[in-house]
Amino acid sequence: MGKVYGILGWINFYSFTENKEKIFSYLPWFILKNKAWEIIQLKNWKKHNNRFIIQINNIIDRSIANKWTNTEIFINKNQLPQLKQDEYYWDDIIKCKVFNVTKKYLGTVINLINNKHNDILLLQNECEKKNIKKIMIPFVIGKIIQKIDIKNKIIIVKWN
């Protein structure tokens, strides 16, 4: 959740789902507060420019809403739709070890980046303690991405 919006307790909200409005069908939401999971009761939401503004139950003014800024929300993974074969959630890809077709270790996926053309794997290679190296590999299944084994957290790529 972002900054407070207005004086009535609304908060700017950014969705990272592919279809931005889909986040509102994945209720309930959770936050981690004082090392315990807490459910957020959403009262209302509106589309506002290229983002959303939300109202949370019992947050009626700006000062209370300010305590919720810069808070990440979480959902239960079981709420997400079942994927087709060869489709993956980013969360499943992160922490996979990446090897090229000659079995050379390239790094571990630390993030994915979305651009207009395709997603990009961001790897970090920590083999050499002195030189932590980051590598970007286009996530193009078939051409570059040869095999994804989510169970064993391994990705094989055609990459040097």
Q: What is the pLDDT of residue 123?
A: 92
Which helix (H) or strand (E) segment holds residue 93: the answer is helix 90-93
Return the closest-CA partner of residue 126 out of 146, 113, 104, 108.
108
Q: Is 39 helix (H, G, I), strand (E, B) or coil?
A: strand
Lowest-confidence pick of 24-28, 130-134, 149-153:
130-134
pLDDT for residue 76 is more than 70: yes
**70 and 2 in contact (C-beta within 8 Å)?**
yes
**148 and 96 in contact (C-beta within 8 Å)?**
yes
pLDDT for residue 5 is more than 70: yes
Measured CA to CA in angstroms, residue 66 lies from 31, 46, 95, 96 at distances of 15, 19, 33, 37
Largest CA distance in the chain: 59
| Cα end-to-end span (Å), the chain | 39
Q: What is the DSSP letter of 27?
A: P
d(CA 40, CA 60): 15
The chain-wide mean pLDDT, for the chain, equals: 88
Span 90-120, pLDDT tens digits: 889 999 999 999 999 999 999 998 888 888 9
In terms of DSSP bridges, do strands 97-100 and 154-157 run parallel, antiparallel, or are they unpaired?
parallel
d(CA 31, CA 36): 8
What is the band of 133 on the pLDDT scale with cuts at 50, 70, 90? confident
What is the band of 19 on the pLDDT scale with cuts at 50, 70, 90? confident
Q: Which domains does the chain have, with CATH numbers?
A: 4-79 (2.40.30.60), 90-157 (2.30.30.240)
Token digits for 155? 């990705």
What is the band of 24 on the pLDDT scale with cuts at 50, 70, 90? very high
Q: What is the pLDDT of residue 80?
A: 86
Where do we find the tokens 């790529």? Answer: 157
